[in-house]
Structure 1
Amino acid sequence: MTVDAVVVGAGPNGLAAALTLAGAGLRVELYEAADTVGGGCRTAQLTLPGFQHDVCAAAHPMAMASPFFRAFDPAAHGVELLQPEVAYAHPLDGGRAGLAWRSLARTAAGLGADGPAWRTLFEPLVRRWTGLAALAGSDLRSLPADPLTALRLALRTAEQGSALRAVRWRDEPARALFAGVAAHAMRPPGSPATAAVGLVLGTLAHAVGWPVVRGGSQRLADALAAELVARGGVVHTGHRVHSLRELPPARAVLLDVAPPALAELAAGRLTDRYARALRAAPPGPAACKVDYALSGPVPWAAPGCELAGTLHLVGGRAEAVAAEREVRRGRHPAQPFVLVVQPGVVDPGRAPAGRHTLYAYAHVPHGSTLDLGEAVTAQVERFAPGFRDVVLARHVVPAAELGRHSPNCPGGSIGGGPLSLWHTALRPVPRPDPYRTPLPGVYLCSAATPPGPAVHGMCGVHAAHRALRQRFGIRPAALLADGGQLRPVG
């Protein structure tokens, strides 16, 4: 059978690209090196039998918010997105914590004197969250569909990304709560880039939540692959592609791979300048992943943390800034920023009855070979005295080895590159079209392209839209086909 398009890499972006192309009526083949689809969106028994751990992505605000997933509709495909009462929490020494409840009003009520300030910061964005999600998932080259929301985000980014933020916050729980969510940018909180990340993720916490997938993130990837097959696509797993020459002839090839991998796949065919730029693309900070099998729930000291799906463990805002600065300088903080997800608060089936899993990673310099299992354990113990007593097993993947589990994370880089405003917009190399390569019909669609990391699928959608226009003369009117008809989105 003739193939119209080939996709290499079955992470969320590769699957989204393949589905977008298949939704336009094209014949698509997808190649994945691992034995299962999903890339960073996979689940495996990493510690003990019966304990299911997410390999990379665990909490999924963008799976509720992105235009691609809203069109796909995970629930209609049997995927349950379970909502913790507290989207994220930031425990502090002394048994206090900032809690970001699903309810904006409840969050504000719990922040005392800072409650009104939190509410006025987020409420206008929460009211128009679809416009914010469209902006966050855009190719960063198009005019915003909701200019008013874009302006509101810009003004709040300018405030929280400068010394003006000190005017808004009076007490440490609110300061730390925002700094923790901003640190998802893997940069010291306080810059425009970290402020924008904090505002987007904070808004989604109150608008759509930070859900986990019942049974593990693999369920979401499997549903995407099943839909692709239902639309006539062919999925090849356990098939590593070493060169573009191995692929069947096709009018479009989309690559959900890291920039250096693109240079290798197209070795000898790219311009020297472009190939050098791909190999020199800055990788960004990295993570050391730690998974735990637990005999019971984590004994958090601060009330409310036992309800949180995600927690940021680093102490107050000043400590978060200091830890991220150390990583940026290529050093390992004595007390690193640790992100944990406890899926058992809503999905007890991840572990045998009465037992729990805990997902964690620490921010580290790119390529770090250190096993931070003990440092991460100590950071959890700091805010949950007695944690060591419930640990049954621990599985650690240093940053330097993370690429073996997900090749798109070379050296442990989980962001596809630095998350500054400049690098996000111009990743992987400065070009008017970041998806189109110098090779006719070959496109890059990984998180190394805008809008960057997270399980949203939009890198794949944008690359597929360009392929549809440029290679097939199809104007993309939708993300997916439904019943043979293109379903408009947005």
Structure 2
Amino acid sequence: MTRTGDVDAIVVGSGPNGLAAAVTLARAGLSVRVHEAAATPGGGARTEPLTLPGFRHDVCSAVHPMALASPFFRAFGLADRIDLRVPEISYAHPLDGGRAGIAWHDLDRTVDGLGRDGRAWRRLLGPLVAHEAALTEFTASSLVRMPRHPLVAARFGLRALAQGGPAWNVGFRGEVAPALLTGVAAHAIRPLPGVAPAGAGLVLAAHAHARGWPIPIGGSGAITAALVDDLVRHGGEIVTDAAVEHLRDLPPSRAVLLDVTPRALDAIAGDRLPGGYRRALRRFRHGDAAAKVDFALSGPVPWAHPDLARAGTLHLGGPREEIAAGERDVARGRHPSSPYVLVSQPSAFDGSRAPAGHHALWAYTHVPAGSGVDPTEAVTRQIERFAPGFRDLVLASAARPATRLAAENPNHVDGDIAAGATSLTQLVRRPVVARDPWRTPIAGVYLASASTPPGPGVHGLAGWHSAASALRHEFGLGLPDLAP
């Protein structure tokens, strides 16, 4: 193939999607250059000493439900490149009085632990777990495309509709199982109940029982390091501290793939975009935000329920109705009195994260978009509710309000870590309704961020799909082999 200008392809942004795109293009034999505005690559998939010496914390993402399920990471052989530790408890949900719902990696064990609601849990998730590969194929690309497994897609859709509506408690008799499901649905940062968060929760719950929710040994930065290493070994390069404000700032190339939001694409491409497409980009809406706290602890979290020490992820916030009320408050621009808090305890599985006998704890809560409120006290209070004595273990903490998350990563507009609201409309129109939403109207320019299907998460799929489109349309090539 004939090269034009300095390189064949340029990728703007080095988050997991940008790096996935760059690796795919380089493996196809193209010369690739990545432009990254920050001083280091990785976007939210970085691990740094945020609190005290010897403690290593994940800057944004910590647990990776898609690391083993993502078709891109499976093709890339991520599990053969880094150590992904799968906890026997994928996620857990403490309740007052020392009770807890436990989502074991083993579906049967989860069902047994849920007592009278175990059968309802199996009916809801069993068919999705049994056909997890087909479910992943359907949800890992544009929903505009015809599913290859329509029966699986239909089962999933009916369950999302049921759990996303006012009758979401039908079938459950107790409090624990609904809370357990609500905690995973709340990852979407949307009002509950809702079809989109219900769908997201069902997919995540299916992955929890099918492949597990792995924790990378060494931190999320290990995923970035594996991608960067492969890119460099195949001739690619990364230029850091290299913000791109306009397409004309870039050297000549045959393809440009942008791991940016629709808002940034509008600014970077400007008048080169047709008016209708620019209006579609400006209609794209960002959601509410996360605010994060990292803790350095002198010992393990003293959870009231002993099994919680074995969980990789915990969802805090009380029963289903309490979490739903808190998420409604966030959507109305208020900070909840009882916030939803997502906790990861990686040092329980990875001794490299903290000095011997100590622990690193990762936590975030949901807040209104653009919030500048320090979340430390709200998060600490909610953890203390289910782990009395937690405060006494805190050696240091580092807070990241939503405004700081936005300042550190331009894709996290106002603290929206999903790069766009995960509403039902925007799961279909992300940012436009099209079979190939990664391809823009400008010849050779592609969108490769979580603002395209399949949306948020560390899975590399948006970048992979974008690269596949660019390879097909600009170079007449198919997807290359990505195996180690």
TM-score > 0.5, shorter chain as reference: yes
Distance 2:416 2:320 in 1: 24
Distance 1:19 1:452 in 2: 19
Aligned position for 1:22 = 26
Aligned position for 2:414 = 411
Q: Does 1:226 align with 2:242?
A: no
Distance 2:170 2:37 in 1: 51
Letter in 1 for 2:50: L
Letter in 1 for 2:27: G
Indicate conservation of the 8 Å contact 1:187/1:324, yes or no: yes
Aligned position for 1:304 = 307
Q: Of 104, 108, 115, which aligns to 2:107? A: 104
Aligned position for 2:52 = 48
TM-superposed CA distance for 1:388, in Å, is 0.3
SS at match of 1:354: coil
SS at match of 1:357: strand
TM-superposed CA distance for 1:169, in Å, is 0.7
Indicate conservation of the 8 Å contact 1:425/1:451, yes or no: no
Indicate conservation of the 8 Å contact 1:297/1:356, yes or no: yes
TM-superposed CA distance for 1:272, in Å, is 4.5
Q: Which moved more, 1:210-219 or 1:266-275?
A: 266-275
Distance 1:121 1:277 in 2: 36
Q: Does 1:12 align with 2:11?
A: no
TM-superposed CA distance for 1:235, in Å, is 1.8
Q: Which moved more, 1:430-439 or 1:404-413?
A: 430-439
Aligned position for 1:68 = 72
Aligned position for 2:372 = 369
TM-superposed CA distance for 1:347, in Å, is 0.8
Distance 1:471 1:72 in 2: 23
Aligned position for 1:348 = 351
SS at match of 2:67: helix
TM-superposed CA distance for 1:482, in Å, is 4.7
TM-score w.r.t. length of structure 1? 0.95
SS at match of 2:330: helix
Q: Does 1:149 align with 2:149?
A: no
Distance 1:172 1:85 in 2: 23
Alignment of 1:67-466 (within 5 A): 67-77=71-81, 79-430=82-433, 433-466=436-469
TM-superposed CA distance for 1:417, in Å, is 1.1
Indicate conservation of the 8 Å contact 2:192/2:328, yes or no: no
Give per-residue Cα distances to partners, 1:236-261, cap 9 Å, x unaligned.
22322222212121111000012222
Distance 1:33 1:120 in 2: 47
Indicate conservation of the 8 Å contact 2:75/2:483, yes or no: no
Relative to structure 1, the CA distance from residue 142 to residue 429 in structure 2 (aligned partners, 3 Å threshold; closer, same or farther) is closer
Distance 2:481 2:195 in 1: 34
TM-superposed CA distance for 1:356, in Å, is 0.6
Distance 2:392 2:482 in 1: 51
SS at match of 1:98: strand
Letter in 2 for 1:462: H
SS at match of 1:332: coil
Indicate conservation of the 8 Å contact 1:33/1:237, yes or no: yes
Relative to structure 1, the CA distance from residue 469 to residue 335 in structure 2 (aligned partners, 3 Å threshold; closer, same or farther) is same
Distance 2:273 2:93 in 1: 46
Letter in 2 for 1:44: E
Letter in 2 for 1:10: S
Distance 2:480 2:48 in 1: 30
Letter in 2 for 1:58: A
Indicate conservation of the 8 Å contact 1:71/1:479, yes or no: no
TM-superposed CA distance for 1:387, in Å, is 0.5
TM-superposed CA distance for 1:174, in Å, is 0.2
Distance 2:417 2:289 in 1: 6
TM-superposed CA distance for 1:147, in Å, is 2.0
Gaps of 5+ in 1: 484-490
Indicate conservation of the 8 Å contact 1:19/1:480, yes or no: no
Give per-residue Cα distances to partners, 1:450-489, cap 9 Å, x unaligned.
1100011111111111111221222x2x453458xxxxxx
Give per-residue Cα distances to partners, 1:171-213, cap 9 Å, x unaligned.
1110100011111111133221121111100000011111111
Give per-residue Cα distances to partners, 1:78-131, cap 9 Å, x unaligned.
x11111121101100111000001100111111010111111211111111111
Indicate conservation of the 8 Å contact 2:38/2:241, yes or no: yes
Aligned position for 1:34 = 38
Indicate conservation of the 8 Å contact 1:5/1:250, yes or no: yes
Indicate conservation of the 8 Å contact 1:9/1:31, yes or no: yes
Aligned position for 1:3 = 7
TM-superposed CA distance for 1:404, in Å, is 2.5
Letter in 2 for 1:350: R
Indicate conservation of the 8 Å contact 2:255/2:470, yes or no: yes
TM-superposed CA distance for 1:51, in Å, is 0.7
Give per-residue Cα distances to partners, 1:394-427, cap 9 Å, x unaligned.
1111101112222210210011111112111102
Indicate conservation of the 8 Å contact 1:68/1:479, yes or no: no
Gaps of 5+ in 2: none
Distance 1:158 1:265 in 2: 38
Give per-residue Cα distances to partners, 1:324-369, cap 9 Å, x unaligned.
1111111111111110111012112101111111111110111111
Distance 1:452 1:300 in 2: 33
In the alignment of these two chains, the number of paired residues is: 480
Indicate conservation of the 8 Å contact 2:287/2:420, yes or no: yes
Aligned position for 1:488 = none
Indicate conservation of the 8 Å contact 1:286/1:367, yes or no: yes
Indicate conservation of the 8 Å contact 2:65/2:213, yes or no: yes
Distance 1:423 1:280 in 2: 10
Relative to structure 1, the CA distance from residue 434 to residue 30 in structure 2 (aligned partners, 3 Å threshold; closer, same or farther) is same
Letter in 2 for 1:443: Y
Indicate conservation of the 8 Å contact 2:61/2:220, yes or no: yes
Distance 1:123 1:450 in 2: 26
Distance 2:371 2:8 in 1: 41
